[in-house]
Amino acid sequence: MRLIPSRAAIAATISTSLSAISSAAAAEEPIVVTATRTPVNVERTLVSTVLISRDDIEKSQAPFVTDLLRSVAGVEMSTNGGPGQTTSIFLRGAESDHTLILVDGVKLNPGTIGVAALQNMPVDMIERIEISMGPRSTLYGSDAIGGVIQIITRKGELAEAGWRFGSYNTHQLSGSLHGKTDAVRYGIDLSGTRSDGFPARSEATEDSPYSNNSANLKLGSTFGNTDLDAGYWYSSGTTDYYDFLLTPVDQDYRNSIASLTAVTQASSRWVSNLRYSFFEDQIEQNQSDDYLQTKRHEIDWQNDVVLNEENLLTAGLQLYSENAQSLSFGSGFDEDVDSFELYAQDQYERGRHQLQAGLHYTNHSSFDGQTTGDLNYGFQASDSVRLVGNLASGFRAPSSTDRFGFGGNPDLEPEQSVYAELSSRFTPSSRHRGHITLFQNEIDNLISFVDPDGFAGPIPGRNENIDETRTRGIDLGYAFRMNGYEIDAGIVYQDPKDLTTGKQLPRRAKEKATLAGRYVGSDYSLSAEVIYSGERPDSAYSDVILDSYTLLNLSGTKNIAKRINLGIRFENITDEDYQLADGFNTAGRSVYFDIRYRHQR
């Protein structure tokens, strides 16, 4: 089997994969780019990768991106209330700030609190979501200790307008227009969300409203052997919540990404992809002067070189300059961070063997140089069985809040991880697909706040690199497709353990299972989804145990005319009473309706 993709596929690197990914989607090929920075069929990746396609999104009728992610067995989350509230993502037992979030290849994690504002990305702007499990620091540097979630925004040639409304007085209006002329490619997505929500805290009585206004703009053209693309994503709004004293307060937020990318076919075997991006994340409290702000300039120069029919080399550099500011209860910081990074990866395939190896070096302004790497091997044991083994290391640079916020310690070292995985993937026929994956992620130098009484660490009352965690587990998956019937099932059994204390890690269950069934007819679809999560501790500092829960969701779509589609989603049909964080409410039984005009040109 030849490894070398076509010229168009080589050029479709992570930030400029628009044309290649659109073409692949049109051919119904499950292509992903996150695992390798180059287009690969999701079934051929050596890294455990989950793809949530645009078709999956539409059939699920999920109103928020968190509803999509929680349907994956290896993904857990906690939320501090309803729509727009702070959301934390845990991949295979790793910490919430160990998940790197990308939007069209650009990092969304801020330099302050570390957790990306994923809840502010409208579902109707998303073309696909790719989830790569395990450390990906070899390709992306800091923060990718647990894995990477990449959101790729809408593309292609389409015109669409929709209105979604339902429980908690929720309304979402959206519109998209994408197309091209002989000389220009263009796209615009607009979205507005308003929701009364429900009381974020279990002791509260007043609702916690949420509003969001978002826009995503794209413009591109071709000049000789170079494709030039500009993009701008913007999201802003207001989130109401309750402070520690149960006083209702609210905050304004703003997230934005601006980028300019040039992809040049330098030769028949070499494609150069140069991208500049500017990211801004800002939160301002309306009842005080407190705020958080991150501004980051980044340059990413990726080169894909075809060495021969069996080797594809990807090498490049990343430079970023970041300013992080914070003011909280009268104290704060204003810090600059710079980083220079080099990465290289070789993809080799010959006969039944597939090999992927990479190295990444980081020269960071706040600590000594950091080197990470990975080695991934796949063997096609038979026509229906494929064996895969992975070894990878990762790191997370301490944030400015870790170093200069409450309990800050400027001498902190990076958190580090070593990950191992063995997987058997089965494809006995075109109708059946499954996998059995064993994994372990051991994380050292975890940053932890030392108790003022000094139970650990040399200096009480500040952050120290003292903790060590290890998650071992097994991931089982099965998928079935036949004559419009679809079944997807996943089960993860894991032991997320704090090796320092021997306790189970907070808000990570030892078992999670998902089961989704769907029938797709000529002009309609019906879907059912069951999600189960086991009990888990709420915090390392309390004895509160969050109960297990089971959620049942139903959805359906119906085309009533050539270009008009109706949708409905019932969430938590059994009205399960559960919590994802102690003291915070979750949604009860709810329903959402959707009416949409779509013209796929």
Domain at 346, CATH number: 2.40.170.20
Which of 499, 502, 507 shows the shortest CA–CA distance to 468?
499
3-state secondary structure of 410: coil
End-to-end CA separation in angstroms for the chain: 35
Confidence at residue 449, expressed as pLDDT on a 0 to 100 scale = 83
Cα distances (Å, whole numbers) of residue 272 to 108, 136, 313, 314 = 24, 21, 12, 10
Assigned domain for 532 exists: yes
Which of 384, 315, 421 shows the shortest CA–CA distance to 49?
421
Confidence at residue 18, expressed as pLDDT on a 0 to 100 scale = 33
Distance of CA 123 to the CA centre of its chain: 13
Assigned domain for 537 exists: yes
Separation CA 36–CA 52 (nearest Å): 17
Separation CA 339–CA 365 (nearest Å): 6
Looking at 92-209, which runs of residues are DSSP E strands? 99-103, 106-107, 126-133, 147-153, 158-166, 170-180, 185-195
Looking at residue 27, the DSSP 8-state letter turns out to be: T
Assigned domain for 57 exists: yes
Q: What is the pTM of this model?
A: 0.93
Confidence at residue 15, expressed as pLDDT on a 0 to 100 scale = 37
Confidence at residue 419, expressed as pLDDT on a 0 to 100 scale = 97
Least confident span in 1-5, 188-192, 566-570: 1-5
Q: What is the pLDDT of residues 52-67, one digit of tens each?
A: 999 999 999 999 999 9
Instruction: Report the run of H or E that residue 387 belongs to, with start and end.
Output: strand 385-396
Confidence at residue 329, expressed as pLDDT on a 0 to 100 scale = 82
Confidence at residue 407, expressed as pLDDT on a 0 to 100 scale = 86
Out of 241-245, 328-332, 549-553, the most confident range is 549-553
Give residue 519's domain range. 7-600
* Mean pLDDT across 133-156: 94
Work out the pLDDT band at 28, boundaries 50, 70, 90.
Answer: low
As a whole number of Å, the CA-based R_g of the chain is 23
Assigned domain for 1 exists: no
Assigned domain for 427 exists: yes
Looking at 224-352, which runs of residues are DSSP E strands? 226-242, 248-267, 270-285, 291-308, 311-328, 331-350
Confidence at residue 29, expressed as pLDDT on a 0 to 100 scale = 64
Assigned domain for 587 exists: yes
For residue 340, is pLDDT > 60? yes
More confident residue, 247 or 20: 247
Q: Which amino acid is it at 187?
A: G
Confidence at residue 331, expressed as pLDDT on a 0 to 100 scale = 86
Q: What is the pLDDT of residues 351-368, one digit of tens each?
A: 999 999 999 999 999 888
**324 exposure class (CB count in 10 Å sphere: 0-12, 13-18, 19+):** buried
Q: How many domains does the chain have?
A: 1
In sequence order, what are the beta bridge partners of 40? 32
Assigned domain for 2 exists: no
Q: What is the pLDDT of residues 454-474, one digit of tens each?
A: 444 445 578 899 889 999 999
Assigned domain for 177 exists: yes
Number of other residues whose CB lies within 10 A of the CB of residue 99: 25
Confidence at residue 113, expressed as pLDDT on a 0 to 100 scale = 81
Confidence at residue 21, expressed as pLDDT on a 0 to 100 scale = 36
In the chain, what percentage of residues exceed pLDDT 90? 85
Looking at residue 167, the DSSP 8-state letter turns out to be: G
Separation CA 22–CA 420 (nearest Å): 33
Residue 156's region, left for phi above 0, alpha for psi from -120 to 50, else beta, is left
* Mean pLDDT across 250-262: 97
Q: What is the pLDDT of residues 81-125, one digit of tens each?
A: 999 999 999 999 999 999 999 999 999 999 988 788 999 999 999
